[in-house]
Chain A
Amino acid sequence: MSRILVAEDDPHILRLISMWLKRQGHDVQEARNGLSARDLLMAEPVDVLVSDVNMPGMDGLELIEAVAGEGCVQRGIVVLTNRWDHVSIRDQLAEWDVHVLPKPFSPSRLSELVESLTAAGTAESQTEA
């Protein structure tokens, strides 16, 4: 079981992602905007961050800039975007190891991605052990 934070302003998407990841047995936290997501991350680090880009207050990019270097996210970041320029978003976040999923996205593709990130982390930690 991994700790996952989902930051998404659309309640339906947030509910759906949360539903899928919980079904896979993860501990899922929800945030409706960038600022509350940052506060949650600062309070307690997570394994994977799933974040939307367009969010009120603090957007996804600002959120990642703020938390990625702080060790708040340990295994990987998935960015969901419905902006045209998802390629440029990928470039902007090049220094952080992020996975970009353009919207509309497939929830099964997202859960596979999250699964691979958490599994890799688990494998690494097992090797380390």
Chain B
Amino acid sequence: MRLRRSLWAGVLPEGLGLCFVAVIFAGFAGAYLVAEHFWTEQSATVRQAEADTLAQIHAKMLGLVADKDEDAIQAVLGDLSDMPRVCAVRWTDPDGAARFEWPRRLGAVPGLDGAERDGELRPAAASVDIRTASGSAGTLRLELRPRNDANHHAYLIWNWGIAACLTLLVFAVVYRRLRRHLKPVAAIERNLHSYADGIEREFMTLMLSDSLGSIAQGWNRLIEELSSMKRELQNTAQSAQSQDVLARFESAGFRRVVDRLPFGILRVDASQSITYANASAAALLGRALDDVIGLPINDIIDDPTVTRALVGARSRATAGLSVDHTRTDGNEETTLRFRILPMAAKSPDSEALLTIEDIGQLRESQRARDEFLYHVTHELRTPLTNIHAYVETLTKPGFDDEQTRKECYNVIISETRRLSGLVENILSISQLEVGSARLDAGEVDLQRLIRQMVQDNLGAADEKRIDLTLALPPKVPKVSGDKQRLSVLLNNLIGNAIKYTPAEGKVQVKLDVTGQCIRIGVSDTGIGISPEDRQHVFDKFYRAASDSVQMVTGTGLGLAIAREVARLHGGEIHLESELGKGSTFTIELPLPSSDRTEVTGR
């Protein structure tokens, strides 16, 4: 059974075995039908022959009876008894006397055994009345042996057996030829199964030159191509990896991300043509996206240094080589920094990625940082110079009178205070600007805080005989905030108002609670701020160029800090001013939501 299975399974395709079995059965059935048909034909012929013989005997008997040739009649009847199926013959004259009887005693029929005699297979009998012109000459009775079924079966088995053998023979021949022809197909099938199962094996090249040679040749070519592809893949593993990366890159999700990056990305193939560009790249190059992809990079960036760097980076595999290129668009200049990333190591023919950044912003931030440092050092040197000069003065013998010494001490103390205030402010503004400042948030009693700030500034106001007043509503809801920073904010605004208000002027601090916020106003009758200066007054280190401002010492940081603190509390700071008449700074701080309804209801 196993042998049979392997015989079929190895050679014949699935389902063909079943077909063969069906064909064999059909062959057997056909053979049976043919044998049966021949038997029927033969039986009919025999029957016809018997009928003809009987008719001839009948005719002959009529003649003989007419001639009254008793011997000839006896001879004919004797011949009749020799017929194979005739088992009894009796000739009686019209009187009923037997003239010829074979065998001698009826019933003992030769060739019939007892069972046939007693059973249903009784012999068939035929009586023929022989009449002449002179009347009845007698009766001829024949008993015929029944048709022999055993013979019939033997006949069928013989004929059918021969037909079946022939069928098997034909099948064997067909099978042998088919097997020869299907061998390569079976081998292909086996190989395919092995491949599908992931079995690493060398494909055996089929060496066949039979009638199916074309299939084998095709298969061989296929295997050769497959093997060479396999080798190629193994040899260029890195390229395969990058292909994988590229394939993933091409997948829609990742590509969407890359398209939205804030810096430009270009992919350049070996022929220096752009095969991919994201939206930022197109925008930075000042073109439409369709106007970039597919074009040589030289057409897009008219700068030989970029192209040279592109070639150089790929041949040396210098990752991250960067080149700056200034693009002029009308009057506008954009400085772009290209970073070149070769996709494969030291391969001049490989693809490369280019990132593009607008370094104008970077330069702007560098400039801002330099400016900040410049201002900081400038501001620090002024109190330092004073301290240095006054300390030296104290040590000199010519300046040892009481008044000079007192003056020197006062300057040194005030400048030291100024220096530490300055350092504090610089730290504060840098923290606030880079966002590293954290609010030490808590519940702040603004009413109390404002009173305290006004109190602290009363001395400075009194010196200039300035009328410093405070107006508070009866009830002020507490706010959430950083008490320390809010006090710096208020101190800066009140201090500024006093500093920039001429002697005997007025400074008013007032607090209003509206539905949504708390509004703190600091108004003065000071020098005022010109419309041009109003735009920059909150910029750090900005000080108006007018003499009236420059006469007053200041760092230009107070208002910048005030604005940042207000922003950090979710609030805003506004300025109204008229040159020569005075200024009003208004801080708006949002109220906690729970207090809003209470106040609105009032």
A residues at B contact (CB < 8 Å): 9-10, 12-13, 15-16, 19-20, 23, 32-33, 54-57, 82-84, 103-108
Contact = CB atoms under 8 A, between A and B. Distances in A.
Contacts, number: 67
Given A16-B393, A23-B399, A57 B386 contact: no
Q: Chain B contact residues: over half helix, strand or loop, or mixed?
A: helix
Nearest to B551: A32
Contacts of A103: 381-382, 384-385
B533 to A, nearest CB: 13
A80 B407 CA distance: 22
Nearest to A109: B392
28 contacts: A9-B550, A10-B382, A10-B386, A12-B390, A12-B415, A13-B385, A13-B389, A16-B389, A16-B393, A19-B404, A32-B547, A55-B550, A56-B546, A56-B547, A56-B549, A56-B550, A82-B377, A82-B385, A83-B378, A84-B374, A103-B385, A104-B381, A104-B384, A104-B388, A104-B389, A105-B385, A105-B388, A106-B388
A107 B553 CA distance: 22
A12 B550 contact: no
Nearest to B410: A12
Contacts of A33: 547, 550
A82 B382 contact: yes
Contacts of B546: 56
Interface residues of B, number: 28
Contacts of B388: 104-106
Most buried by B among A20, A23, A54, A104: A104
Q: What 7 A-B pairs are tightest by C-beta distance, nearest first?
A: A56-B550, A104-B388, A104-B385, A82-B381, A103-B385, A12-B386, A107-B389
Interface string B259-287: 00000000000000000000000000000
B396 interface: yes
A12 B5 CA distance: 115
Interface in B359-404: 374, 377-378, 381-382, 384-390, 392-393, 396, 398-399, 404
Contact of A23 (B390, B398, B411): B398
A82 B545 contact: no
Given A13-B385, A82-B382, 16 more contacts: A10-B382, A10-B553, A13-B389, A16-B390, A32-B547, A54-B378, A56-B545, A57-B547, A57-B550, A82-B378, A82-B381, A84-B374, A84-B377, A103-B382, A108-B392, A108-B396
Contacts of B404: 19
A10 B404 CA distance: 18
Given A13-B386, A82-B378, A105-B385, A19 B399 contact: yes
User: Which residue, A15, A55, A56, has most C-beta atoms of chain B within 10 A?
Assistant: A56
